[in-house]
């Protein structure tokens, strides 16, 4: 490839292309529509009433149904891929994801990321990049932000290492930071029959485990359609020709697809946990491939009243997803590590009516 040609097709950033403090404005803002909502619903099968029916949402205090929290997250995440992780060796983690404003069909989402940490690996061939990514709507209001860290290749092994900066990350967001994306609701107008279960915030106990029972098999067409819907262009999800020659011999399902499936499955047991207020962190313990069936279970880690509002309360939930393994016995650990069927270990805050 000549230089002029290379100039037109970006090879993406390598480790030495990042600097702490740098802000990257990501390409392709996206107007979210009812079409996106319908597709998201058809791909994951969510049945939470707030996101499904304008009438239900309006009755309790939303102007109309907000878009699923994870749809907004995936759209923001998708925009960051070309600038942050196209040369990533691994997505190492994410933390401190806050949902800050509701998103409605018609809103336009754009995204930017600030580099908040860099640490070269000892082999000098790669390094860890920490970014604070942020999605905004057309009014400039933040809708979601989160920290992510990825291991990125160096273009040139001999490039000078930056001074290491590793941000201090909270293990869990404090309850006081939750709820900005949820208007003050009228719980008296929350119809528990239409919502599908009678359980309020106060009906959940710390330590309680919930098997979400159902399993959902993933097809190649499904995860490809979803990941393109999010305009996430990470190569590993779409290119069987190259992945067929790679480590797994096949396309890898986007980790966010597993989160969305687990969230949809969690309706059976957490039907009134209608809003994800924050994601404290998550580990994609093992890869998921088309043909696998995803199951999930959850544990209530913490139950917290909100600051200055008593319409809803917060539940800190750990949701564990498995592949090809029902969760009636809540599989998690085996020996030193995870149970071999576990693919996701997610720690997040949801809101439920009191």
Q: Of 166 and 194, which CB lies nearer to its own copies in the complex structure?
A: 194
Q: Tell me which residue of 262, 332, 268 sits closest to 295, measured CA to CA.
A: 262
Phi and psi, residue 150, nearest 5°: -135, 150
Q: Is 29 in the site for its own copies (CB under 8 A)?
A: yes
Minimum gap (Å) between residue 1 Cβ and its own copies: 6
- Of 13-21, 95-103, 149-157, 201-209, the segment contacting its own copies by CB under 8 A is 201-209
Q: Is 195 in the site for its own copies (CB under 8 A)?
A: yes
Residues 6+ apart with CB under 8 A from 264: 44, 45, 46, 47, 216
Q: Is 219 in the site for its own copies (CB under 8 A)?
A: yes
Minimum gap (Å) between residue 54 Cβ and its own copies: 4
Q: Using CB under 8 A as the criterion, what x/- string covers residues 237-276 for binding its own copies?
A: -xxxxx--------x----------------xxxx-----
Q: Is 285 in the site for its own copies (CB under 8 A)?
A: no
- Of 13-21, 274-282, 287-295, 312-320, the segment contacting its own copies by CB under 8 A is 287-295
Strand partners, 99: 144
Judged by CB under 8 A, the chain residues 152 through 191 that form the site for its own copies are none
Phi and psi, residue 181, nearest 5°: -85, 5
**Among positions 144, 229, 296, 352, the unique one binding its own copies when judged by CB under 8 A:** 229
Q: Of 157 and 228, which CB lies nearer to its own copies in the complex structure?
A: 228
- Pair of tokens at residue 344: 């996701």
Minimum gap (Å) between residue 304 Cβ and its own copies: 19
Q: Is 23 in the site for its own copies (CB under 8 A)?
A: no
> How many residues interact with its own copies (rule CB under 8 A)?
87
Minimum gap (Å) between residue 309 Cβ and its own copies: 24
Q: Is 138 in the site for its own copies (CB under 8 A)?
A: yes
Q: Of 138 and 186, which CB lies nearer to its own copies in the complex structure?
A: 138
Q: Of 123 and 245, which CB lies nearer to its own copies in the complex structure?
A: 245
In a 3-state reduction of DSSP, which class is residue 38?
Answer: helix
- Pair of tokens at residue 233: 């262009």
**Among positions 142, 208, 302, 345, the unique one binding its own copies when judged by CB under 8 A:** 208
In a 3-state reduction of DSSP, which class is residue 83?
Answer: helix
Minimum gap (Å) between residue 79 Cβ and its own copies: 9
Distances (CA, A) of 173 to 136, 309, 350: 20, 18, 12
Judged by CB under 8 A, the chain residues 35 through 94 that form the site for its own copies are 35-39, 41-45, 47-49, 52-56, 65, 82
In a 3-state reduction of DSSP, which class is residue 271?
Answer: coil
Minimum gap (Å) between residue 213 Cβ and its own copies: 5
Q: Is 44 left (phi over 0), alpha (psi -120 to 50) or beta?
A: alpha
Judged by CB under 8 A, the chain residues 327 through 346 that form the site for its own copies are 328
Distance between CA 294 and CA 264 in Å, rounded?
11
* CA quadruple 270, 225, 93, 23: dihedral, nearest 10: -120
- Of 119-127, 146-154, 208-216, 311-319, the segment contacting its own copies by CB under 8 A is 208-216
Q: Tell me which residue of 19, 12, 27 sits closest to 85, measured CA to CA.
A: 12
List the Cα angle 166/345/297 in 5-degree steps. 160
Contacts within 8 Å (CB) and 24+ apart, 337-341: 338/285, 338/286, 340/286
């Amino acid at each position: 490839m000549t230089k002029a040609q290379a100039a037109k097709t970006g090879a993406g950033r390598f480790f030495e292309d990042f600097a702490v403090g740098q802000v990257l404005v990501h390409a392709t803002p996206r107007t979210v529509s009812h079409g996106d909502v319908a597709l998201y619903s058809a791909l994951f099968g969510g049945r939470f009433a707030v996101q499904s029916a304008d009438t239900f949402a309006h009755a309790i205090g939303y102007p109309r149904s907000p878009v699923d929290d994870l749809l907004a997250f995936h759209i923001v995440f998708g925009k960051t891929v070309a600038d942050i992780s196209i040369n990533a060796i691994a997505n190492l983690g994410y933390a401190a994801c806050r949902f800050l404003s509701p998103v409605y069909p018609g809103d336009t989402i754009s995204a930017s990321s600030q580099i908040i940490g860099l640490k070269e690996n000892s082999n000098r061939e790669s390094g860890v990049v920490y970014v604070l990514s942020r999605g905004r709507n057309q009014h400039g209001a933040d809708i979601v932000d989160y920290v992510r860290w990825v291991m990125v290749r160096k273009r040139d092994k001999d490039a000078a290492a930056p001074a290491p900066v590793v941000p201090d990350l909270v293990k869990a967001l404090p309850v006081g930071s939750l709820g900005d994306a949820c208007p003050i609701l009228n719980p008296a107008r929350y119809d528990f029959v239409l919502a599908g279960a009678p359980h309020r915030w106060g009906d959940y106990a710390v330590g309680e485990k919930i098997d979400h029972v159902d399993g959902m098999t993933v097809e190649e067409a499904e995860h490809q359609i979803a990941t393109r819907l999010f305009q996430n262009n990470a190569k590993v999800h779409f290119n069987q020709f190259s992945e067929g020659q790679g480590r797994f011999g096949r396309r890898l399902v986007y980790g966010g697809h597993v989160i969305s499936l687990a969230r949809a499955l969690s309706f059976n047991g957490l039907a009134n946990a209608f809003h994800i207020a924050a994601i404290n962190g998550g580990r994609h313990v093992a890869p998921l491939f088309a043909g696998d069936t995803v199951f999930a279970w959850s544990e209530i880690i913490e139950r917290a009243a909100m600051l200055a509002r008593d319409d809803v309360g917060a539940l800190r939930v750990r949701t564990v997803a498995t592949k090809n393994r029902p969760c009636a016995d809540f599989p998690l650990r085996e020996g030193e590590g995870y149970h071999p069927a576990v693919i996701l270990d997610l720690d997040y805050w949801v809101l439920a009516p009191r």
